[in-house]
């Protein structure tokens, strides 16, 4: 198998761009897919983000499109020839950035369109003419309907993260888009799994595809210090605060498994004086952007989030990640803790494990291929009687109307629209997909955030007012010694 980019006979313009990226050898998906795509074959690839799959399809597509390359300013000379469809704005943005870098020394143009943004600037870009169009399905249909782009010269289609596009309910949109494209084309489909739905999609739209499978890297970075603490559910919040203080952490991500749990935890931490914001699937696009911006700028210290809301977010180098809940899907653990300890920086990943988590921990051990040591933690229980006042703020006691709010949220989180095309009828336009978390800039610790984090301030206040009588030291026992039988598999609220 070819390993070096130089063996591919790519044009000097593309080779130069690859060399500038600093890539030395091809990743497995690149080594397998690039030669096949260069031959013009359809591909069904099992590969995920992080495997180098963007270059795996972009480089050969650019190479093949070079025969159309021209320096004309006329939009007609730059029709859309390659269409890359992705489920979220964030992913679309990421891929479009890479396409731009790889095409940097060619005259091939590219742009990206996605929802949640003003259509006008996107329209202006489209009207100038682009060879590579990266898009989310809903917004692309908006542009097609507005006649902002013509797709009758498309030669290549990439359905990237196809499983997620189906999860979100984009199938009808995809069917519609594909119906606008020339039948004679190369189609590449990438998906994390080959579920029956994905196979059906491939059977309908791919011709004699070459199947390529690349194992997902389940390795966690060695720079991340990982701890699994055996905790009681009721102690999680207190232990979280204790670790934040003891470690002198400035900011952290806190992952929970459900929208309801996320909202509830964020509210109670907020009530206890911690600078917290929540990010979950029931938040509007605007609220999610604000939450993210607040975290990125250092205006909030804790971002409590669910996997679905945080999926694909380009927030890296967070000093610490807490798994307040062990994720239902073991793979999400790798994804969650991948947000810390990047690029050689040290990071901290702390997971709270309760007796109910035996099955999930088993899954995680299987995925990571190693035994996970559970640690006991000395917890300074700090539970004062409800109703005490702390700096004028009522702490450790939920307001009376809390239940009503939570019940409302629980109801809302169960209301999910069905999105299926009626059999035998042309696919209807799908309802708009849930707002994507769309954030361009990577996380950068705020330079301005010299102020101590909220848990330190809260602790100082606590230390001043707490009576010595209410501080107990409690040894937490090792996990599963007397663990009850594993509970039945919980159903994630958001998936």
**26 vs 174, beta carbon nearer ligand AMP:** 26
CA angle 171, 176, 178 (to 5 degrees): 95
- Shortest spacing between CB 49 and ligand AMP, in angstroms: 5
How far is it, in rounded angstroms, from Cα 372 to Cα 326? Answer: 13
Put residue 141 in one of left, alpha, beta given phi > 0 → left and psi -120 to 50 → alpha. alpha
CB 320 within 8 A of CB 447: no
Decide if residue 141 touches ligand AMP (CB under 6 A).
Answer: no
Q: Give the distance between the most distant pair of CA atoms in the chain.
A: 80
How far is it, in rounded angstroms, from Cα 425 to Cα 153? Answer: 26
Site string for ligand AMP, 322-341 (x = CB under 6 A): --------------------
Candidate list 13, 14, 30, 62; residue touching ligand AMP; CB under 6 A:
30
- Shortest spacing between CB 456 and ligand AMP, in angstroms: 35
- Shortest spacing between CB 51 and ligand AMP, in angstroms: 5
**216 vs 432, beta carbon nearer ligand AMP:** 216
DSSP per-residue codes, 396-422 = SS--TTHHHHHHHHHHHHH------PP
The dihedral over CA atoms of 396, 399, 402, 404, expressed in degrees to the nearest 10, equals: 160
Region from 25-33, 141-149, 175-183, 236-244 binding ligand AMP, contact rule CB under 6 A: 25-33
Q: Which of 282, 308, 328, 259 is nearest to 495 (CA)?
A: 308
- Angle of helix 12-21 relative to helix 89-102, nearest 10 degrees, comes to 120
**28 vs 115, beta carbon nearer ligand AMP:** 28
Site for ligand AMP in 49-108 (CB under 6 A): 49-55
**25 vs 207, beta carbon nearer ligand AMP:** 25
- Shortest spacing between CB 22 and ligand AMP, in angstroms: 7
How far is it, in rounded angstroms, from Cα 462 to Cα 389? Answer: 10
CA torsion sign, 112 to 116 to 119 to 124?
A: negative
- Shortest spacing between CB 293 and ligand AMP, in angstroms: 23
**26 vs 260, beta carbon nearer ligand AMP:** 26
- Shortest spacing between CB 24 and ligand AMP, in angstroms: 7
**23 vs 180, beta carbon nearer ligand AMP:** 23
How far is it, in rounded angstroms, from Cα 453 to Cα 251? Answer: 8
**16 vs 383, beta carbon nearer ligand AMP:** 16
Q: Which two tokens stand for residue 232?
A: 């009681």
- Shortest spacing between CB 6 and ligand AMP, in angstroms: 12
- Shortest spacing between CB 450 and ligand AMP, in angstroms: 31
Write the CB contacts of 373 (distance below 8 Å, at least 6 apart in sequence).
228
Site string for ligand AMP, 369-408 (x = CB under 6 A): ----------------------------------------
Region from 47-55, 231-239, 292-300, 454-462 binding ligand AMP, contact rule CB under 6 A: 47-55
- Shortest spacing between CB 470 and ligand AMP, in angstroms: 50
Site string for ligand AMP, 2-21 (x = CB under 6 A): -------------------x
285 CB-contact burial (10 Å; exposed 0-12 / middle 13-18 / buried 19+): middle
**32 vs 323, beta carbon nearer ligand AMP:** 32
- Shortest spacing between CB 315 and ligand AMP, in angstroms: 15
**44 vs 265, beta carbon nearer ligand AMP:** 44
- Shortest spacing between CB 97 and ligand AMP, in angstroms: 10
Distance (Å) of CA 9 to CA 63, 100, 106, 122, 432: 10, 20, 16, 34, 43
Decide if residue 27 touches ligand AMP (CB under 6 A).
Answer: yes
Region from 23-31, 384-392, 422-430, 459-467 binding ligand AMP, contact rule CB under 6 A: 23-31
Instruction: Tell me the pairing of strands 347-353 and 320-323.
Output: parallel
**102 vs 229, beta carbon nearer ligand AMP:** 102
Q: Where are the alpha helices (DSSP H) in 272-357?
A: 285-297, 307-310, 330-337
Candidate list 10, 13, 17, 26; residue touching ligand AMP; CB under 6 A:
26
Put residue 270 in one of left, alpha, beta given phi > 0 → left and psi -120 to 50 → alpha. alpha
DSSP per-residue codes, 35-92 = HHHHTT--EEEE--TTSSHHHHHHHHHHHHHGGG------GGGS---EEEE-SSHHHH
How far is it, in rounded angstroms, from Cα 243 to Cα 225? Answer: 13
Region from 7-15, 45-53, 64-72, 424-432 binding ligand AMP, contact rule CB under 6 A: 45-53
Number of chain positions touching ligand AMP (CB under 6 A): 12
- Shortest spacing between CB 177 and ligand AMP, in angstroms: 22
Residue numbers at the binding site for ligand AMP (CB under 6 A): 21, 23, 26-27, 30, 49-55
């Amino acid at each position: 198998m070819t390993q070096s980019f130089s063996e591919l006979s790519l044009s000097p313009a593309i080779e130069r761009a690859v060399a500038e990226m600093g890539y030395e050898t091809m990743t497995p998906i690149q080594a397998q897919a690039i030669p096949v795509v260069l031959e013009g074959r359809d591909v069904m690839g099992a590969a995920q983000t992080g495997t180098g799959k963007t270059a795996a399809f972009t480089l050969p597509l650019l190479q093949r499109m070079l025969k159309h390359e021209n320096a004309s300013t006329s939009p007609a000379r730059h029709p859309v020839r390659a269409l890359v469809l992705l489920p979220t704005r964030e992913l679309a943005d990421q891929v479009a950035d890479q396409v731009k870098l790889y095409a940097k020394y060619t005259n091939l143009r590219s742009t990206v369109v996605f929802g949640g943004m003003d259509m006008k600037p996107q329209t202006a870009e489209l009207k100038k003419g682009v060879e590579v169009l990266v898009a989310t399905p809903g917004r692309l249909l908006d542009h097609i309907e507005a006649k902002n782009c013509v797709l009758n010269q498309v030669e290549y289609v990439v359905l990237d993260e196809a499983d997620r596009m189906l999860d979100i309910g984009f199938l009808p949109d995809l069917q519609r888009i594909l119906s606008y494209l020339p039948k004679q084309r190369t189609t590449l489909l990438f998906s994390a799994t080959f579920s029956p739905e994905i196979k059906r999609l491939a059977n309908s739209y791919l011709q004699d595809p070459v199947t390529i499978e690349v194992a997902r890297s389940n390795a966690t970075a060695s720079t991340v210090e990982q701890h699994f603490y055996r905790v009681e559910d009721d102690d999680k919040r207190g232990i979280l605060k204790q670790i934040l203080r003891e470690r002198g952490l400035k900011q952290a991500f806190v992952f929970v498994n459900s929208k309801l749990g996320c909202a509830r935890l964020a509210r109670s931490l907020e009530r206890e004086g911690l600078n917290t914001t929540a990010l979950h699937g029931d938040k509007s696009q605007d609220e999610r952007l604000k939450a993210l911006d607040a975290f990125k700028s250092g205006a909030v210290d804790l971002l409590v989030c669910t996997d679905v809301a945080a999926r694909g977010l380009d927030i890296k180098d967070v000093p610490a990640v807490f798994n307040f809940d062990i994720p239902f899907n073991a793979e999400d653990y790798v994804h969650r803790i991948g947000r810390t300890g990047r690029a050689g920086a040290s990071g901290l990943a702390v997971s709270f494990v309760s007796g109910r988590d035996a099955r999930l921990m088993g899954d995680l051990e299987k995925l990571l291929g190693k035994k996970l040591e559970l640690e006991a933690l000395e917890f300074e229980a700090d539970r004062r009687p409800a109703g005490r006042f702390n700096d004028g703020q009522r702490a450790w006691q939920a307001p009376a109307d809390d239940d009503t709010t939570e019940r409302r949220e629980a109801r809302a989180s169960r209301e999910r629209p069905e999105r299926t095309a009626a059999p035998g009828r042309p696919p209807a336009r799908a309802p708009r997909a849930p707002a994507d978390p769309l954030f361009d800039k990577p996380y950068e610790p705020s330079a301005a955030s010299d102020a101590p984090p909220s848990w330190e301030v809260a602790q100082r206040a606590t230390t001043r007012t707490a009576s010595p009588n209410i501080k107990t030291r409690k040894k937490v026992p090792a996990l599963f010694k007397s663990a009850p039988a594993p509970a039945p598999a919980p159903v994630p609220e958001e998936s």
